Amino acid sequence: MLSPASGKIIRIGEESRTITIFMYLHNVHITTAPLDGVVKKITPENGLFQPAFFRSADFNTRNTIELSTKYGDVTIVQIAGFFTRKIICEVEEGQGIMKGERIGKICLGSRVDISIPSGFEILVKEGAHVKCRKTIMASSK
């Protein structure tokens, strides 16, 4: 499973199996598919514009992309930050996508949360720097 964004891992939820990647202003802010799959559902939500590295950013404007994969459903959440006011989604519901394919962009940095299926071992640690399409975040057991 590839990283869907470039940045720093600021949180790994052990129970939720969710990894939070903070994207600094100098990072490339595209979002890509971590696995092959089909876009199951896209849910945009309006919210706050808190700095993305704070826990309060959990209530920021976001776009949730649910993927159906052969390993189970994976959720990628594009979260706007303090400077960000625009999230661009480049996929549609029902669309098939391949691992590493571009699915969107968050203008000027923010955060991406990704859920990890239960059949995967998480290979990254908090504080690690990851690269979109390059860093392997998890591997099937």
Catalogue the active-site residues: 110
Structure tokens at 4: 């869907």
Residue 130's closest CA among 8, 38, 2, 26?
8
Q: How far apart are CA 75 and CA 67, in angstroms?
A: 6
Per-residue exposure over 4-22, b if at least 16 CB sit within 10 Å of its own CB, e if not: bbbbbbbebeeeeeebbbb
| Token pair 């514009």 in the structure block, residue | 49
